[in-house]
Amino acid sequence: MKKIELGKSGLQVPNIAIGCMRINGLEKQKAESFVEKALELGANFFDHADIYGAGHCEEIFAEAVHMSPSVREKMILQSKCGIRQGRFDFSKEYILNSVDEILKRLKTDYLDVFLLHRPDALVEPEEVAEAFDHLYQSGKVRYFGVSNQKPMQIQLLQRYVKQPIVANQLQLSATNTNMISNGLEVNMTTDKAIDRDGSILDFCRLQDITIQPWSPYQFGFFEGVFLDNDKFPKLNETINRIAKSYGVSNTAIAMAWLLRHPAKMQPVTGTMNEKRLEEICGASELYLTREEWYEIYVSAGNILP
């Protein structure tokens, strides 16, 4: 698979990450087979969160790979914390405790990457900085990031946090394009001209923060997959035609659309299907033309000024 640098970390990672939110839906043997397939494909970056299956997903993953020092060396592990029942929590105590529990469940001594999961309105960045310092100095976390945060929130953290923010997970797909659309529809009165995210796409590029698009095949907020969906006839006709010309699946083209963006993103796929995973990973080195990229963009219902 094609590799990119994660932020300014120097860490080389596959340009497609494997999201493990649904691994608790697999039987043990299928979980083992899925992870083995991912590693075989070179997709060795696995994204977790303490909230996925209430921690059970991390336990299943560790069992599926038969975690040991030799196995751990073959993969890059990322996890997140901050979402709690009825609230968000970036307190020092909660961050430190969460990471300890994550490491226990994953049966490892360290995380390659640790993200704050969504913003906490009551965040005290000084506390986050103390937590990050402890995690970094103790060797429990090597690199740090955030999810669903806008520029000012990241800048507030960076005023206190010594470690660079290397990644930001944000929702993005061919049908959820606001971070792209508000940059194209500048100075227009259209709905998508509204800057709802503080120009986070440009900010991340300027700050060398890798965007990790989540739900790359979903429309709305977990409303369903747009591929082979009657709600998006023009989009599917376009994607299917381009897929046929490349001799790949529509799944690969939808992923290649994200990878074509010069921000050098690292989309997080959530599939637990081995065949679909192989199709997705086939997009790693695909390079759509400018014409193809814009044709998909417009066929998804987006406009060009």
Give 221's contacts (C-beta < 8 A, 6+ positions apart): 171
Q: Is the sign of the CA dihedral 28, 29, 35, 36 positive or negative?
A: positive
Q: How do the residues of the chain divide into helix, strand and coil, expressed in percent and rounded to 5?
A: 45, 15, 40
How far apart, in whole angstroms, are the C-alpha atoms of residue 209 and residue 154?
A: 10
Strands (E), the chain: 3-5, 12-14, 17-19, 45-47, 76-81, 83-84, 87-88, 111-116, 141-147, 165-171, 210-214, 268-269
Q: Is 214 helix (H, G, I), strand (E, B) or coil?
A: strand
Which of 52, 143, 217, 297 does the annotation list as catalytic? 52
Asked whether the beta carbons of 160 and 128 are under 8 A apart, the reply is yes
Concerning whether 52 is annotated as a catalytic residue, the answer is yes
Residues taking part in catalysis: 52
